[in-house]
């Protein structure tokens, strides 16, 4: 292999990692839907099974990040609490509404981050961001309208998807704070995943007791489903995207953001035979366009 071909392939690796990571994460609602445990239990196993793998990677892969100082406990706890809320509400949202709706609404988090910065730190958003916000809200209204014909519980699932976005926005702000303090990617992922698992364990146990849903899988296939959720979607997907964004311009994060709900809807259609109506597709397209505009407006482009 010539040197030029080698370097060209190496340059293409981050972009390939971004697409692969988005696909891995887009599979997560499929694992959740087919799991034979309750939604909160699947959220717990998602992080509990991923945490050992992340710690193994952290101690095995020697990079400059492994030499950085430890994570501030309070900030790491805040990130873990936010991520626990994000996963718990999202997994319940997936049970009640369509995969496409739950994933699209959860991705409103990027808009909530900018709104929080506006309210808390007086960082006035640009006109482009406000246009994106208006488009995203209009698209959300269309999605909610489409949910009426999906199932009687779909509106509740949509509401839980919006709550998911609020918790995910909190998580993103917590992670940014930790990254600004010098936290490494693997250390951050391993620590917050572990804290999230510890927080979700009693919640999952209580939920199983109250709802009668299983906490433990009943078969080997059930454990494989949870392993796929933890190792492919959580550890693999998050790790690939973290690697990609470390080597790509910040603008490419919008690509990953837009790919995930599109792929999740496609996977649900192909693997779960979940229909995508014209109204839902139109609302989803408007939401995605709004998120894209808001992302560009947030970055000042």
* 126-135, 143-152, 176-185: the lowest-pLDDT one: 143-152
pLDDT cut 90: percent of the chain above it = 36
**Residue 31 pLDDT level (bands cut at 50, 70, 90):** very high
Distance CA 219, CA 292 (A): 42
DSSP state of 250: G
Among 11-20, 40-49, 75-84, top mean pLDDT goes to 40-49
State the average pLDDT over residues 219-237: 94
Task: Kindly tell me if the per-residue pLDDT of 141 is higher than 80.
Answer: yes
Task: Kindly tell me if the per-residue pLDDT of 150 is higher than 90.
Answer: no
**Residue 51 pLDDT level (bands cut at 50, 70, 90):** very high
- Encode pLDDT of 236-269 as tens digits: 988 887 777 667 665 565 556 678 888 888 899 9
Angle among Cα 33, 276, 37 to the nearest 5 degrees reads 5
Question: Is the model more confident about 204 or about 119?
Answer: 204
- Encode pLDDT of 84-110 as tens digits: 999 999 999 999 998 988 988 888 887
CA distance between the termini of the chain: 39
Q: Give the pLDDT score at 119.
A: 78
Q: Give the pLDDT score at 108.
A: 84
Q: Give the pLDDT score at 85.
A: 96
**Residue 7 pLDDT level (bands cut at 50, 70, 90):** very low
State the average pLDDT over residues 116-138: 80
State the average pLDDT over residues 28-55: 95
Among 21-35, 53-67, 116-130, 243-257, top mean pLDDT goes to 21-35
Q: Which two tokens stand for residue 232?
A: 């492919």
For the chain, the residue count is: 301
**Residue 63 pLDDT level (bands cut at 50, 70, 90):** low
HEC per residue, 89-154: HHHHHHHHCCHHHHHHHHCCHHHHHHHHHHHHHCCCCCHHHHHHHHHHHHHHHHHHHHHCCCCCCH
Element (H, E) at 13: helix 3-26
Q: Which long-range contacts (CB under 8 A, 24 or more apart) does 214-219 make?
A: 214/36, 214/37, 214/38, 214/41, 215/37, 215/38, 215/41, 216/37, 216/41, 217/35, 217/36, 217/37, 218/36, 219/36
**pTM attached to this predicted model:** 0.85
**Residue 6 pLDDT level (bands cut at 50, 70, 90):** very low
């Amino acid at each position: 292999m010539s040197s030029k071909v080698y370097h060209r392939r190496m340059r293409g690796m981050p972009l390939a990692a971004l697409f692969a990571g988005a696909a891995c994460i887009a599979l997560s609602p499929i694992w959740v839907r087919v799991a034979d445990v309750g939604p909160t239990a699947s959220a717990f196993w998602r992080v509990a099974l991923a945490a050992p793998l992340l710690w193994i990677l952290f101690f095995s892969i020697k990079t400059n990040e492994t030499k950085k100082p430890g994570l501030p406990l309070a900030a790491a706890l805040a990130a873990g609490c936010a991520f626990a809320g994000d996963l718990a509400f999202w997994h319940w949202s997936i049970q009640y509404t369509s995969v496409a709706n739950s994933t699209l609404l959860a991705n409103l988090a990027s808009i909530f981050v900018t709104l929080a910065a506006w309210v808390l730190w007086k960082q006035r958003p640009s006109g482009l961001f406000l246009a994106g916000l208006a488009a995203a809200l209009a698209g959300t209204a269309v999605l909610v309208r489409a949910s009426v014909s999906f199932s009687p519980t779909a509106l509740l699932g949509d509401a839980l998807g919006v709550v998911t976005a609020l918790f995910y926005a909190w998580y993103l702000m917590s992670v940014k704070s930790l990254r600004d303090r010098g936290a490494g990617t693997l250390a951050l992922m391993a620590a917050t995943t572990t804290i999230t698992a510890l927080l979700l364990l009693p919640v999952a146990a209580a939920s199983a007791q109250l709802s009668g849903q299983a906490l433990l899988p009943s078969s080997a296939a059930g454990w494989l489903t949870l392993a796929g959720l933890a190792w492919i979607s959580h550890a693999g997907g998050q790790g690939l995207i973290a690697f990609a964004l470390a080597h790509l311009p910040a603008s490419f994060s919008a690509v990953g953001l837009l790919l995930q709900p599109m792929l999740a809807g496609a996977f649900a259609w192909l693997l779960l035979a979940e229909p995508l109506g014209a109204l839902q597709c139109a609302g989803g397209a408007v939401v995605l366009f709004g998120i894209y505009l808001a992302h560009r407006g947030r970055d000042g482009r």
